[in-house]
Structure 1
Amino acid sequence: MSRIGFIGLGVMGTPMAAHLAGAGHEVSGFDLNAEALAKLTAAGGQAAADVADAVGDAEVVITMLPDHPQVAQVVLAPGGILDHVRPATLLVDMSTIRPETSIEVAKAGADKGIRVLDAPVSGGQAGAEQAALSIMAGGDAADFLAAKPVFDVLGTTVVHVGPHGAGQVVKAANQLVVGGIYGLVAEAIVLLEASGVDAATGLDVLAGGLAGSRILELKRTSMVAREFRPGFRIDLHHKDMGIALAAARQSGVALPMTGLVAQLVAAARARGHGSLDHSALLKVVEELSGRSLQEA
């Protein structure tokens, strides 16, 4: 069992830290939200007073933060994680951020003798709560093997995908595919309903054929019912699509479908749907088609 410092106890981080504590790891967590700290304590972890308190004695440090500015602040800034952990500590950033920030963190860690992995996750809040996340890790293979017992507590698909930053690139690819499928399912619903066909029945057929997907499996019923309770918010997917487009520009490739999906996500956010589940792309497609909106 490891001593784990866990920074970032949001809707994903709280259940992840709780699973680690439940598996017997000694987990010391920190977040600015007192309620999140109380949940970790109830799950068997310890509430740290600050970042330094959480990570000072840790063998493994996990960060689960909203975006690259928060990661840079918590990890790289004076008084941050790298100023308080011991040499040879394994720092695992499980946030979804820009690949270049992950590479910057890895270089800064190496300068201080800290091992670093970028290991973003897919599966949303439900995956975190069910310990069924997909984890895509970038960094040294030996460090991945050292972290794998921790990853295995949190996820069912755990893969080393390449060097530093590779985890973030794979996550960007994941998000562009997920966004694209949501957009197409939304269009299918609009087409079916506008044609007088029962959308629920039509999607049942699609889910059993070549068009079948995990999204159709999990979300077709709630989408037809216009239930958009957030499992993964539009606001976060908007951020992720920006990461995908920036990665494409840096790599010198054209991703036209990704650009279109990014605009649909941006439109959903601009229409005030940022706090809804990303399946709420249906609301944007309905509006483009002149269909009356059905509120969640």
Structure 2
Amino acid sequence: MKIGFIGLGVMGAPMAANLGKAGFEVRGYDLRPGGRTVASVAEAVTGADVVITMLPDSPQVEEVLPEIVEYGGDNLLYIDMSTINPETSLGIARRLPHALDAPVSGGERGAIEGSLSIMVGGKEEDFQRALPVLQAVGRTIVHVGPSGAGQTVKAANQLVVGGTYGLVAEAILLMEVSGVDPAKGLDVLAGGLAGSRVLELKRHSMVARDFAPGFRIDLHHKDMGIATAAARQAGLALPLTALVTQLIAAARAQGHGSLDHSALLKVIERINAA
């Protein structure tokens, strides 16, 4: 099976590498100079059985879509693994008969390990056809509904992750100011009902104030915009989501956009002049 992979960034590059290790023939292309293995989108798409995009936002996906439509074959399976607006995914599905929206969760580590969670929207028959490809990059793979559903579930994922980071940040500060060792405290929390993947992977780096990006504040800011827009479209009031959205916006406004989203701790510190 030949795969064209567009978007060789922090997430896309290791995902493409894992597809190659699984035996697929992968032709990669990146919109940024220096990140390409073929010279153009057209070259990545021509002759491919599957095309995957892993791009920052809706505008980048929409930028490459005309060439995917033009150079892809009639039976091309298109899997967009970017995190974008559900409405954009619905528009893609109207233009390509075999399109899936399949955003991921798990960050850079999950991309490297091939252990991503993948939430897939689209037709059941296209999902089944895509499954061998998705199994090369992910561990938890669920068909969650029709086109756009994958992006809606990803929005829900991002609001939970953002809220968890905010609460872990507050817990760290509370323990520190109270004279408690936060590293030991978080070890206890991680083993109880408060345990989470965020605590498992990030508690030590957060206590150490190591905010090297696995998933940048800038991207989480974009994702929270998708979540709040989806809530508005559904006619829902999500007050905690709105608060988390503002905290992430504050992190970006304070110049932390290039840091990991665990840098919400810096915002909580600044609020408390800590």
**Equivalent residue number for residue 285 of structure 1:** 268
**Equivalent residue number for residue 22 of structure 1:** 21
Shift of 1:34: 4.5
**Equivalent residue number for residue 101 of structure 1:** 88
The residue type equivalent to 2:18 in the other structure is H
**Equivalent residue number for residue 192 of structure 1:** 175
Q: Secondary structure at the match of 2:93?
A: helix
**Equivalent residue number for residue 7 of structure 2:** 8
- TM-score with structure 1 setting the length: 0.91
**What CA deviation, in whole Å up to 9, does each residue of 1:9-52 have, x standing for no partner?**
11111111111111111111111345323xxxxxxxxx222111
TM alignment of 1:46-61, pairs within 5 A: 47-61=37-51
**What CA deviation, in whole Å up to 9, does each residue of 1:153-192 have, x standing for no partner?**
0001011000000000000000000000000000001111
TM alignment of 1:174-185, pairs within 5 A: 174-185=157-168
The residue type equivalent to 1:150 in the other structure is V
- Measured in 1, the distance between the counterparts of 2:219 and 2:31 equals 19
**Equivalent residue number for residue 76 of structure 2:** 89
Runs in 1 of length 4+ with deviation above 4 angstroms? none
- Measured in 1, the distance between the counterparts of 2:31 and 2:228 equals 31
- Measured in 2, the distance between the counterparts of 1:190 and 1:33 equals 39
**Equivalent residue number for residue 294 of structure 1:** none
**Equivalent residue number for residue 250 of structure 1:** 233
- TM-score with structure 2 setting the length: 0.98
- Measured in 2, the distance between the counterparts of 1:200 and 1:31 equals 40
1:128 to 68, 90, 111: 111
**Equivalent residue number for residue 209 of structure 1:** 192
Q: Secondary structure at the match of 2:254?
A: helix
Q: Secondary structure at the match of 1:272?
A: coil
Q: Secondary structure at the match of 2:39?
A: coil
Q: Secondary structure at the match of 2:34?
A: helix
- Measured in 2, the distance between the counterparts of 1:226 and 1:32 equals 32
The residue type equivalent to 1:89 in the other structure is L
Shift of 1:58: 0.3
Number of positions where the alignment pairs a residue of Structure 1 with one of Structure 2: 274
The residue type equivalent to 1:175 in the other structure is Q
Q: Secondary structure at the match of 2:99?
A: strand
Q: Secondary structure at the match of 1:210?
A: coil
- Measured in 1, the distance between the counterparts of 2:202 and 2:28 equals 32
- Mind listing any 5+ residue stretches in structure 1 that lack a counterpart? 38-46, 292-296
- Measured in 2, the distance between the counterparts of 1:73 and 1:231 equals 25
Shift of 1:53: 0.8
Shift of 1:278: 0.4
- Measured in 1, the distance between the counterparts of 2:179 and 2:22 equals 51
Aligned-residue sequence identity (percent) comes to 66
The residue type equivalent to 2:23 in the other structure is G
- Measured in 1, the distance between the counterparts of 2:74 and 2:109 equals 35
Shift of 1:73: 1.2
Shift of 1:197: 1.1
- Mind listing any 5+ residue stretches in structure 2 that lack a counterpart? none
